[in-house]
Amino acid sequence: MMMIITVPAGLEGVVVAETAISLIDGEQGRLSYRGVDIQEVVNRFGRWEDLLPWLVLSQVTEVVPSCDGCRAGDGGTDEPMVRLIRLLIDGQSRWPFKDNGSELTWLASLPPRFAGVDPSGFSSVAAAYLTGIRGGRPPTAAEERALNAYWVMSAEHGLNASTFAVRVAASTASSLPLALAAGVAALAGPLHGGAPEGVLALLQETQDVDDLDHYLTEKVLNGERLMGFGHRVYRTRDPRAEALSQVFRDLASDHDVVDRALRLEESALRVLGQQKPNRPLQTNVEYYAAVLMEALGIAPELCPVTFACGRLAGYAAHYHEQRATGRLIRPLASYNPAVGQ
């Protein structure tokens, strides 16, 4: 008789796969890729594309052949995330890739292709991407370092919704391009990929406030959230925020919004510590990411797709790991006619 196990609706706390790609320790506030602490990873890989061979191919011995007869349709809209999905679907015609090197070349080509630029002649994929989406304005050295660091530290974060979507697609023997498209489609939802509006709105409304502590205290006492603080997983400071903080601070001298954000962060942490001493409400990576993208001149509608470009590395790593198991992901649903009533 088959044993049926009931699990939480959101699969929280349920282990659905074994992975060697990343370790998330929410209690200790630690994140590592393949056993290496995230801060060391950021220091080791100055460019996102340099991360790809190590993260994606560490356990890959050969390119997995595609399934026969895979087809994809046309989304019919120019919304940024759909444009990225189109690029991924276009890659279906090139699947299977000739070798691992051609797969990484294809992956690294996606951000510049989305931005409409030829990456040759640029010092990094990030520089090409920023130049393209900013209408031809190349980044400064500090801006290029900042986006590379952001992409490296956001490349992988365990079995979040979009990564799980990639693994589900991979378990069906889907091709890599279509599995990545599944992940980006999941990331497009506002509850996952999100957007920086909340953090930037808080920064805007406090721009001319003299007594930040008093203003933020009133917001907290009124039951309002301070966007960019606290995290669903981490109970200490988000290690990704820690890894991003230095490149973030390096931009402060040239970008007033970063300087204001640092002052706001200091005040918010002080107020939250006083008003909610029993809750671990530390700065999360979304706070830095929102301000970082504003400083880099990335339009709000391009923030989710900018995040998605970095996350493609982790998606590809999970794709190969799942294909290696050869197991179709097929959970059960417990029937309850009252659901949704």
Domain identity same for 287 and 154: no
Q: Distance between CA atoms of 133 and 311, rounded to whole angstroms?
A: 18
Domain identity same for 188 and 46: yes
The catalytically annotated residue of 157, 231, 255, 320 is 231
Domain identity same for 179 and 201: no
286 is catalytic: yes
Q: pLDDT at position 64, please? A: 47
In a domain, 179, yes or no: yes
Bond prior to 239 in cis (omega within 30° of 0): no
Q: Distance between CA atoms of 236 and 281, rounded to whole angstroms?
A: 8
In a domain, 338, yes or no: no
Range of the domain at 149: 40-57+78-193+300-325
Instruction: Assign 59 a pLDDT band (cuts: 50, 70, 90).
Output: low
Domain identity same for 189 and 220: no
CA angle at 121 for the pair 117 and 127, rounded to the nearest 5°: 60
In a domain, 215, yes or no: yes
- pLDDT tens-digit map of 188-229: 987 886 657 788 889 999 999 999 999 999 999 999 989 888
Q: Is the pLDDT of residue 129 over 90?
A: yes
Out of 54-68, 85-99, 116-130, 302-316, least confident range: 54-68
Domain identity same for 184 and 202: no
In a domain, 138, yes or no: yes
Strand, coil or helix: 72 = coil
Token output for 332: 């059960």
The catalytically annotated residue of 143, 286, 294, 321 is 286
Predicted TM-score (pTM) of the model is 0.85
Domain identity same for 95 and 143: yes
Which CATH number do you get for residue 270?
1.10.230.10
Q: What is the mean pLDDT of the chain?
A: 88
Q: pLDDT at position 222, please? A: 95
In a domain, 170, yes or no: yes
Cα dihedral 30, 7, 183, 323, rounded to 10, equals 90
More confident residue, 46 or 245: 46
Q: pLDDT at position 126, please? A: 98
Residue 37 — φ and ψ, nearest 5°?
Answer: -55, 145
Domain identity same for 238 and 277: yes
In a domain, 28, yes or no: no
Average pLDDT, stretch 335-340? 74
Average pLDDT, stretch 41-49? 95
Domain identity same for 205 and 250: yes
Average pLDDT, stretch 286-309? 92
Average pLDDT, stretch 12-39? 89
Query: Looking at the 3D structure of the chain, how many domains does it have?
Result: 2
Q: pLDDT at position 305, please? A: 95
Instruction: Assign 72 a pLDDT band (cuts: 50, 70, 90).
Output: very low
In a domain, 33, yes or no: no
Token output for 271: 């107020």
Which position has the token pair 């290496």? 36
Name residue 22's beta-bridge partners: 33
Domain identity same for 321 and 289: no
Which CATH number do you get for residue 153?
1.10.580.10
Domain identity same for 189 and 151: yes
Q: Where are the alpha helices (DSSP H) in the chain?
A: 38-44, 48-57, 80-90, 100-115, 125-133, 141-153, 161-171, 176-187, 197-205, 212-221, 239-250, 256-275, 285-295, 303-325
